[in-house]
Each structure stands twice: as C-alpha cells, then as structure tokens.
Amino acid sequence: MKVFVIFACLVVVKSAPQPYLDDSVDDLLEQRIASGLRPLEEVVNDVVNRLANRDPLDVAKNVSININGHYYNFSQVHLEGFSNVIQRVSLNGNIFSSSFEFHLTLPQVSGWVKSFSSDLPLFQGKVINGSFSIRNYKFNARIGVIFGRVQPSKVVTTIERANVTVAGTDNDQEWSDKLSHKIVEVVNSHEYHKIIGRIVDRYVKKLMSRKWWELNAYAVEVEDYLSDEEDYS
C-alpha cells in the first residue's frame, strides 16, 4: 500500500505541467522570504522615507553613544541632505537560505553640531562645535538567514570627501584639515566596517524578534527618538 501511495505521488508530480511546478517553487520561495526578511525590508524603507520627509533634521537633545569602547557626545545637531537619498533593497532566497541587501547613497550631506566631545585621541578631550559636509556617502549591507538563523552581516561604507570646519578651538584650520582627512580614512576602513556590522547585527536581531504588528511601531520609535527634545545625558 505504501509503495502504491508513493508511486501515485510520483505520477501526479510527473504529470503536472512544468509551468505549474515552476510557479509552485516560486511561491514557496516567495513565502519563505516574506516570512523571514520581508519585514526588515518594510522597516528599512519606512525609516528612510521618514528621515527623507524630515529633511532638514534637527536633534535638540543630548545624545551619548559608546562604540567599540569609546564615547561620543552630541548636543544640538542639524543635518540636511536626506531628501536626496538613493536607496535600493533586494531580497533573494532559496529553500535553505535567504538574503537581504540594502544599498544607500547620500550624494551630499551637511550640517552643524553645537557641542561634540569624544575620548578618542584625535579630539584630545576637547569640547568642540563646527560644521561639516560629506560628499557621496555610500552604505551597503548584506544580511543572510540560513535555516532560520541570522548570519553576521557584511557592511561596507565609503565617503568620497569630507570637509570639517572646527569652530571650538580658535578656528584651528590645521586641526580642521586633519579631522577632515581622518573622517574619510576611518569611514573607508575595514575596521570601521566591522564595527558598523556589529551594530547592524544587534538591531537586526532585535527587529527579527518582533511580531509583524510591532514593526510599524518600531519605525515610529526611530523617528520619535530623533525628534524628542528631552535631555537624556
């Protein structure tokens, strides 16, 4: 009886029109991708669109972050250029794995910071303020899921040119030029890519652990965080 059932299944599959089989496989792959990384695509697009709609962006509150053991403090930041963002998102997959690729380009971003400090040796512990402009910032990320497990992301960022004018230390032009050069060097470095990759991994895992009905709220959280004027320092 078991042999008959198996034989019958083989006959049905063999007799099915090839386009039907192809469509079934395509539907299966689409469902797999949609159940895994599609929510990530939706949130990324939503966040980018919200930022573009808020151009120029003003962050009035104090922000303190720690990256790779170093602190960075910001206060009253003005940014503009997000409305010119160029983004491309692609999803690919097979029965065993799927991947999410995100490419973002900002042709020109500029702004100013009222107060900035960091314990990096380059900043010498000084509290500075000034303006900056960045040309052709590119962010590329690839995130893979194999057998339901999120793999470490691969991130590459590049900057064509950065100009920084420091106004907090007697308008030191030499230091401004040094800082401009260092920004390009750091952002284009492999070590920086690994740091950003770890940050992306942390947020992706947090996002993937959320239910689908929580995703829109997550994008709103990002926007509220940027626009909130409370002091969290």
Burial 69-81 (b: 16+ CB within 10 A, else e): eeeeebbbbebbb
Are both 67 and 127 inside the same structural domain? yes
CA distance 33 to 211: 16
For residues 104 and 44, membership in a common domain is answered with yes
Residue 111 in domain: yes
Residue pair 150/208 in contact by the 8 Å Cβ criterion: yes
For 124, list phi and psi in degrees, rounded to 5: 55, 30
How confident is the model at residue 107, as a pLDDT?
92
| Predicted TM-score of the model (pTM) | 0.63
Contact 130, 176 (CB under 8 A): yes
Q: What is the pLDDT of residue 80?
A: 92
Q: What count of other Cβ atoms lies within 10 Å of the Cβ of residue 129?
A: 16
| Domain co-membership, 107 together with 2 | no
pLDDT digits (tens, 9 = 90+) for 188-215: 888 878 887 877 777 777 766 655 444 4
76 or 61, which is more confident?
76
* 13 lies in the same domain as 68: no
232 in a structural domain: no
151 and 99 in one domain? yes
Residue with tokens 């599609």: 38
**Do residues 120 and 207 both lie within one domain?**
yes
Q: Residues 19, 60: one domain?
A: no
Q: What is the pLDDT of residues 62-110, one digit of tens each?
A: 888 887 788 888 888 898 998 888 888 887 776 677 788 888 898 999 9
CATH of the domain at 75: 3.15.10
Read out DSSP for 117-131? EE-SGGGTT--EEEE
Q: Cβ distance 118 to 73 under 8 Å?
A: yes
The pLDDT assigned to 125 comes to 65
Residue 233 lies in a domain: no
Residue percentage of the chain with pLDDT more than 90: 2
> What total of structural domains would you count in the chain?
2
Domain that holds residue 8: 1-36
Does residue 90 sit within a domain? Answer: yes
